[in-house]
Protein backbone atom coordinates (compact mmCIF):
# COMPACT_ATOMS: atom_id res chain seq x y z
CA UNK A 1 0.00 0.00 0.00
CA UNK A 2 1.28 3.47 -0.87
CA UNK A 3 -0.08 6.76 0.55
CA UNK A 4 1.44 10.04 -0.66
CA UNK A 5 4.37 8.03 -2.00
CA UNK A 6 5.07 6.34 1.35
CA UNK A 7 4.78 2.54 1.35
CA UNK A 8 2.82 0.79 4.12
CA UNK A 9 2.41 -2.91 4.77
CA UNK A 10 -1.15 -4.10 4.44
CA UNK A 11 -0.52 -7.13 6.66
CA UNK A 12 -1.77 -5.41 9.82
CA UNK A 13 -4.48 -3.39 8.08
CA UNK A 14 -6.65 -5.74 6.07
CA UNK A 15 -6.13 -9.08 7.77
CA UNK A 16 -8.79 -9.99 10.31
CA UNK A 17 -7.67 -9.39 13.89
CA UNK A 18 -8.97 -11.89 16.52
CA UNK A 19 -9.34 -9.13 19.13
CA UNK A 20 -11.87 -7.29 16.94
CA UNK A 21 -13.97 -10.46 16.71
CA UNK A 22 -13.66 -11.06 20.46
CA UNK A 23 -14.80 -7.48 21.23
CA UNK A 24 -17.83 -7.90 18.94
CA UNK A 25 -18.67 -11.23 20.60
CA UNK A 26 -18.40 -9.72 24.10
CA UNK A 27 -20.46 -6.61 23.34
CA UNK A 28 -23.17 -8.50 21.45
CA UNK A 29 -23.48 -11.14 24.17
CA UNK A 30 -24.26 -8.32 26.61
CA UNK A 31 -26.17 -5.88 24.41
CA UNK A 32 -28.06 -8.33 22.18
CA UNK A 33 -28.06 -11.75 23.89
CA UNK A 34 -29.70 -14.85 22.36
CA UNK A 35 -32.77 -14.27 24.57
CA UNK A 36 -33.85 -11.25 22.45
CA UNK A 37 -36.99 -11.96 20.38
CA UNK A 38 -35.25 -11.53 17.01
CA UNK A 39 -31.94 -13.31 17.80
CA UNK A 40 -33.01 -16.75 16.58
CA UNK A 41 -34.51 -15.49 13.32
CA UNK A 42 -31.41 -13.41 12.55
CA UNK A 43 -29.20 -16.47 13.04
CA UNK A 44 -31.65 -18.50 10.92
CA UNK A 45 -31.43 -15.91 8.11
CA UNK A 46 -27.64 -16.22 7.96
CA UNK A 47 -27.75 -20.03 8.08
CA UNK A 48 -30.49 -20.34 5.45
CA UNK A 49 -28.61 -17.89 3.20
CA UNK A 50 -25.39 -19.89 3.58
CA UNK A 51 -27.20 -23.22 3.01
CA UNK A 52 -28.67 -21.85 -0.22
CA UNK A 53 -25.30 -20.73 -1.56
CA UNK A 54 -25.44 -16.99 -0.97
CA UNK A 55 -22.02 -15.37 -0.44
CA UNK A 56 -20.97 -14.56 3.13
CA UNK A 57 -21.12 -10.79 2.62
CA UNK A 58 -24.05 -9.74 4.80
CA UNK A 59 -23.48 -6.84 7.16
CA UNK A 60 -22.42 -8.10 10.57
CA UNK A 61 -24.63 -7.96 13.69
CA UNK A 62 -23.06 -4.81 15.19
CA UNK A 63 -23.78 -2.85 12.02
CA UNK A 64 -27.28 -4.32 11.65
CA UNK A 65 -28.24 -3.27 15.15
CA UNK A 66 -26.51 0.11 14.78
CA UNK A 67 -28.68 0.85 11.72
CA UNK A 68 -31.81 -0.40 13.49
CA UNK A 69 -31.09 1.95 16.41
CA UNK A 70 -30.57 4.86 14.01
CA UNK A 71 -34.07 4.19 12.66
CA UNK A 72 -35.47 4.07 16.18
CA UNK A 73 -33.73 7.24 17.35
CA UNK A 74 -34.92 9.15 14.28
CA UNK A 75 -38.43 7.64 14.47
CA UNK A 76 -38.11 6.60 10.82
CA UNK A 77 -41.31 5.44 9.12
CA UNK A 78 -39.84 4.37 5.74
CA UNK A 79 -36.33 2.96 5.25
CA UNK A 80 -34.60 1.76 2.09
CA UNK A 81 -31.90 -0.85 1.56
CA UNK A 82 -30.09 -1.11 -1.78
CA UNK A 83 -28.64 -4.64 -2.06
CA UNK A 84 -30.86 -7.07 -0.10
CA UNK A 85 -28.77 -10.26 -0.32
CA UNK A 86 -30.58 -12.62 2.14
CA UNK A 87 -32.52 -9.85 3.89
CA UNK A 88 -30.33 -9.83 7.01
CA UNK A 89 -30.16 -6.06 7.50
CA UNK A 90 -33.81 -5.61 6.51
CA UNK A 91 -34.75 -8.09 9.25
CA UNK A 92 -32.73 -6.06 11.78
CA UNK A 93 -34.43 -2.82 10.72
CA UNK A 94 -37.99 -4.19 10.71
CA UNK A 95 -37.77 -6.45 13.76
CA UNK A 96 -36.29 -3.73 15.99
CA UNK A 97 -38.83 -1.11 14.84
CA UNK A 98 -42.45 -2.30 14.80
CA UNK A 99 -43.77 0.83 13.07
CA UNK A 100 -41.14 0.84 10.31
CA UNK A 101 -41.73 -0.06 6.64
CA UNK A 102 -38.70 -1.09 4.61
CA UNK A 103 -38.22 -1.12 0.84
CA UNK A 104 -35.32 -3.32 -0.22
CA UNK A 105 -33.94 -3.76 -3.75
CA UNK A 106 -32.06 -6.77 -5.14
CA UNK A 107 -30.97 -7.56 -8.71
CA UNK A 108 -30.28 -11.29 -8.22
CA UNK A 109 -33.51 -13.40 -8.31
CA UNK A 110 -32.04 -16.20 -6.17
CA UNK A 111 -30.89 -13.74 -3.50
CA UNK A 112 -34.29 -12.10 -3.54
CA UNK A 113 -36.10 -15.48 -3.18
CA UNK A 114 -33.93 -16.48 -0.21
CA UNK A 115 -34.49 -13.03 1.33
CA UNK A 116 -38.26 -13.49 0.96
CA UNK A 117 -38.06 -16.83 2.80
CA UNK A 118 -36.00 -15.23 5.58
CA UNK A 119 -38.32 -12.22 5.89
CA UNK A 120 -41.35 -14.53 6.17
CA UNK A 121 -39.60 -16.71 8.75
CA UNK A 122 -38.80 -13.56 10.77
CA UNK A 123 -42.45 -12.45 10.65
CA UNK A 124 -41.67 -9.09 9.01
CA UNK A 125 -42.56 -9.79 5.36
CA UNK A 126 -45.73 -7.69 5.67
CA UNK A 127 -43.59 -4.59 6.39
CA UNK A 128 -40.72 -5.25 3.99
CA UNK A 129 -41.40 -4.50 0.32
CA UNK A 130 -38.79 -6.65 -1.43
CA UNK A 131 -38.32 -5.53 -5.05
CA UNK A 132 -36.48 -7.45 -7.74
CA UNK A 133 -34.45 -5.41 -10.22
CA UNK A 134 -31.37 -3.30 -10.76
CA UNK A 135 -31.13 -0.35 -8.41
CA UNK A 136 -30.90 2.14 -11.24
CA UNK A 137 -34.19 0.80 -12.71
CA UNK A 138 -36.15 0.39 -9.48
CA UNK A 139 -35.14 3.64 -7.74
CA UNK A 140 -36.74 6.03 -10.27
CA UNK A 141 -40.03 4.09 -10.01
CA UNK A 142 -39.90 4.30 -6.21
CA UNK A 143 -39.09 8.00 -6.53
CA UNK A 144 -42.29 8.52 -8.57
CA UNK A 145 -44.35 6.65 -5.95
CA UNK A 146 -42.90 8.86 -3.21
CA UNK A 147 -43.48 12.03 -5.24
CA UNK A 148 -47.10 10.93 -5.82
CA UNK A 149 -47.60 10.39 -2.08
CA UNK A 150 -48.12 6.63 -2.48
CA UNK A 151 -45.13 5.96 -0.19
CA UNK A 152 -43.73 8.14 2.62
CA UNK A 153 -40.46 9.97 2.05
CA UNK A 154 -37.40 8.06 3.28
CA UNK A 155 -35.96 8.68 6.73
CA UNK A 156 -33.12 6.18 6.39
CA UNK A 157 -31.27 4.52 3.51
CA UNK A 158 -28.43 2.02 3.27
CA UNK A 159 -26.49 1.72 0.01
CA UNK A 160 -24.77 -1.68 -0.20
CA UNK A 161 -24.95 -2.92 -3.80
CA UNK A 162 -22.76 -2.37 -6.91
CA UNK A 163 -20.10 0.01 -5.65
CA UNK A 164 -19.56 1.82 -8.96
CA UNK A 165 -23.07 3.25 -8.59
CA UNK A 166 -22.69 4.55 -5.03
CA UNK A 167 -22.95 8.16 -6.15
CA UNK A 168 -25.74 7.52 -8.70
CA UNK A 169 -27.85 5.94 -5.95
CA UNK A 170 -27.09 8.62 -3.38
CA UNK A 171 -27.79 11.42 -5.84
CA UNK A 172 -31.32 10.05 -6.48
CA UNK A 173 -32.00 9.10 -2.89
CA UNK A 174 -31.33 12.57 -1.50
CA UNK A 175 -34.39 13.88 -3.33
CA UNK A 176 -36.52 10.99 -2.00
CA UNK A 177 -35.63 11.72 1.64
CA UNK A 178 -37.20 13.89 4.30
CA UNK A 179 -35.01 16.61 5.88
CA UNK A 180 -32.81 15.10 8.58
CA UNK A 181 -32.81 11.65 6.97
CA UNK A 182 -29.60 9.63 7.22
CA UNK A 183 -28.05 7.66 4.38
CA UNK A 184 -25.18 5.21 4.93
CA UNK A 185 -22.87 3.91 2.20
CA UNK A 186 -20.93 0.72 2.99
CA UNK A 187 -17.39 -0.45 2.18
CA UNK A 188 -15.94 3.03 1.92
CA UNK A 189 -12.56 2.36 3.57
CA UNK A 190 -11.90 -1.17 2.20
CA UNK A 191 -8.93 -1.94 4.42
CA UNK A 192 -7.37 1.44 3.66
CA UNK A 193 -7.74 0.96 -0.10
CA UNK A 194 -9.57 4.31 -0.10
CA UNK A 195 -6.21 6.11 0.10
CA UNK A 196 -3.97 3.56 -1.62
CA UNK A 197 -2.54 5.00 -4.84
CA UNK A 198 -2.11 1.49 -6.26
CA UNK A 199 -5.85 0.74 -5.88
CA UNK A 200 -7.32 3.82 -7.55
CA UNK A 201 -8.48 1.68 -10.50
CA UNK A 202 -10.33 -0.81 -8.27
CA UNK A 203 -14.10 -0.46 -8.66
CA UNK A 204 -14.80 -0.50 -4.92
CA UNK A 205 -12.17 2.17 -4.28
CA UNK A 206 -13.15 4.40 -7.21
CA UNK A 207 -16.85 4.13 -6.23
CA UNK A 208 -15.99 5.06 -2.65
CA UNK A 209 -13.78 8.01 -3.63
CA UNK A 210 -16.38 9.35 -6.07
CA UNK A 211 -19.15 9.40 -3.46
CA UNK A 212 -16.92 10.93 -0.75
CA UNK A 213 -15.69 13.68 -3.06
CA UNK A 214 -19.14 14.49 -4.47
CA UNK A 215 -20.84 14.55 -1.05
CA UNK A 216 -18.22 17.08 0.08
CA UNK A 217 -19.31 19.45 -2.69
CA UNK A 218 -23.08 18.88 -2.49
CA UNK A 219 -25.08 21.56 -0.68
CA UNK A 220 -28.05 19.21 -0.14
CA UNK A 221 -26.18 17.13 2.46
CA UNK A 222 -23.50 16.92 5.14
CA UNK A 223 -21.33 13.81 5.45
CA UNK A 224 -18.51 12.10 7.34
CA UNK A 225 -16.74 8.74 7.15
CA UNK A 226 -16.48 6.49 10.20
CA UNK A 227 -13.69 3.88 10.09
CA UNK A 228 -14.75 0.53 11.56
CA UNK A 229 -13.11 -2.67 12.71
CA UNK A 230 -14.99 -5.78 13.73
CA UNK A 231 -15.63 -9.37 12.86
CA UNK A 232 -15.57 -8.51 9.14
CA UNK A 233 -12.21 -6.70 9.18
CA UNK A 234 -11.16 -3.07 8.66
CA UNK A 235 -13.63 -0.97 6.66
CA UNK A 236 -15.83 2.08 7.09
CA UNK A 237 -19.17 3.72 6.38
CA UNK A 238 -20.02 7.08 4.90
CA UNK A 239 -22.82 8.76 6.88
CA UNK A 240 -24.78 11.43 5.04
CA UNK A 241 -27.45 13.65 6.60
CA UNK A 242 -29.96 15.34 4.31
CA UNK A 243 -30.30 19.09 4.96
- Please give the residue ranges that form the binding site for ligand SAM (CB under 6 A): 57-59, 81, 83, 85, 88-89, 105-108, 111, 134-135, 160-162
Name the DSSP letter for residue 95.
H
Closest contact distance (angstroms) between CB of 174 and ligand SAM is 18
Q: Which is nearer to ligand SAM, 1 or 42 (CB)?
A: 42
C-alpha distances out from residue 117 to 1, 99, 113, 114, Å: 42, 21, 6, 5
Min dist CB 17 to ligand SAM, Å, is 21
**Strand pairing class (177-185; 235-242):** antiparallel
Closer Cβ to ligand SAM, 107 or 174, answer by number: 107
Output Rg (C-alpha) for the chain, integer angstroms.
18
Q: What are phi and psi of 13, to 5 degrees?
A: -100, -40
**Beta carbon of residue 75, minimum distance to ligand SAM (angstroms, whole number):** 22
Q: Give the nearest residue (CB) to ligand SAM.
A: 83
CB of 173 to ligand SAM, least distance (A): 13
**Shortest gap between Cβ of 134 and ligand SAM (angstroms)?**
4
**Which residue, 106 or 196, is less far from ligand SAM as judged by CB?**
106
CB closer to ligand SAM, 96 vs 162 = 162
In angstroms, rounded to a whole number, what is the distance separating the alpha carbons of residues 106 and 89? 13
Separation between Cα atoms, residue 72 and residue 74, nearest integer Å: 5
CB 14 within 8 A of CB 234: yes
Contact 187, 163 (CB under 8 A): yes
Which segments of the chain are extended strands (E)? 2-3, 6-7, 78-82, 101-106, 128-132, 154-159, 177-185, 221-228, 235-242
- C-beta of 89 vs 233, nearer to ligand SAM: 89
For ligand SAM, the closer of residues 1 and 159 by Cβ is 159
Closest approach of ligand SAM to the CB of residue 44, in Å: 14
Amino acid sequence: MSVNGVAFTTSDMYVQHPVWTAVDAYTISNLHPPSRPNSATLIHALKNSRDQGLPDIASYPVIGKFFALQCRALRVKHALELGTLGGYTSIWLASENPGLHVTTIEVNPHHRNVAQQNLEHAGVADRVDSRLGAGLDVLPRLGKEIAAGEKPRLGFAYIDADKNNNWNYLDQLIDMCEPGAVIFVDNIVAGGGLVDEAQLGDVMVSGAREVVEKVGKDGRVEGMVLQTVGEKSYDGILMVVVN
